[in-house]
Structure 1
Amino acid sequence: MLDNLPKGTICIEDIEIGMVRSLSKTITDQDIEMFAEVSTDRNPVHLDDDYARDTIFEGRIAHGMLTAGLVSAVIGEQLPGHGTVYLGQTMKFLGPVRPGDRVTAEVEVTEIEPAKRRVTMETRCLVDGKKVLIGEAKVLAPSAKFD
């Protein structure tokens, strides 16, 4: 289950530098298995305890893109929200996410181009306060003028 801050679409006219939205989710074995099924990424580091124990991670980890998907959820559901179009995303993975970890995904507005409806956001995911993913997203925000 996701724990969200305020939901709802925020149109370009109402977005401000420094706005932050986030959500938190505990990653489960089922999440990892479903992501493997949907993505067809069945790397045993995600699915096989015995295999994963002998890797640098010393145990199973969630897919990096599963973690990154939580950033997408914040952008698509909260800031800016419904009607947002992704233009690009950079990511750097800083640490593993394991089954049972509670991940907090956050986005923060760093730049706005109102005339083009473009918004740049710093993106990050944290586990126990430690950054496991950082990046930057560029999106096309919805506008109240085009309802």
Structure 2
Amino acid sequence: MTLPIRRHRPVADGRRGMWARDPLWEFDEFFNQMGSLLQSEGRMAWAPLADLTETDDAYVLEAELPGVGREDVDVQIGRRELTISGEMREQGPDGILHRRTRRTGRFEFQTALPGPVDGDTATARLNDGVLTVRLPKATDAGVTHVEIQPGE
């Protein structure tokens, strides 16, 4: 079992050698422990680390999924939403397991996209543990010009 590390911050008034406890630290620690507990019970999916960048013609998402096979990942694209879900399978140890810190089980990453995308031409590649999803921007913004006809 890994024991929590207590972290303290220096006092804001600049006194040397004096440390004060962050009043919100206990709440942060509580939520971290509850998240770990729920995750270990398989009730809650964890979210992989990811970056979303925008180029002139597309949005590009890179998510860290080391040890996950492409058959264990599902990518779903809505007009303005991206969802990546799947499962990282637990590897059986060859010997006696003394410590486990790697995440396993169900994962899900969901994000709203800054603009509409063309899901039909999107691509996804999993290479060296990094999933790269390229989402071309929609060329049609959904605005249509309607010509006004003369009245009768």
TM-score normalised by L of structure 2: 0.28
Q: Which has the larger radius of gyration?
A: 2
TM-score, scaled to structure 1: 0.29
More helix per residue: 1
Determine which structure has greater relative contact order: mean sequence separation of CA pairs < 8 Å that are 6+ residues apart, divided by chain length: 1
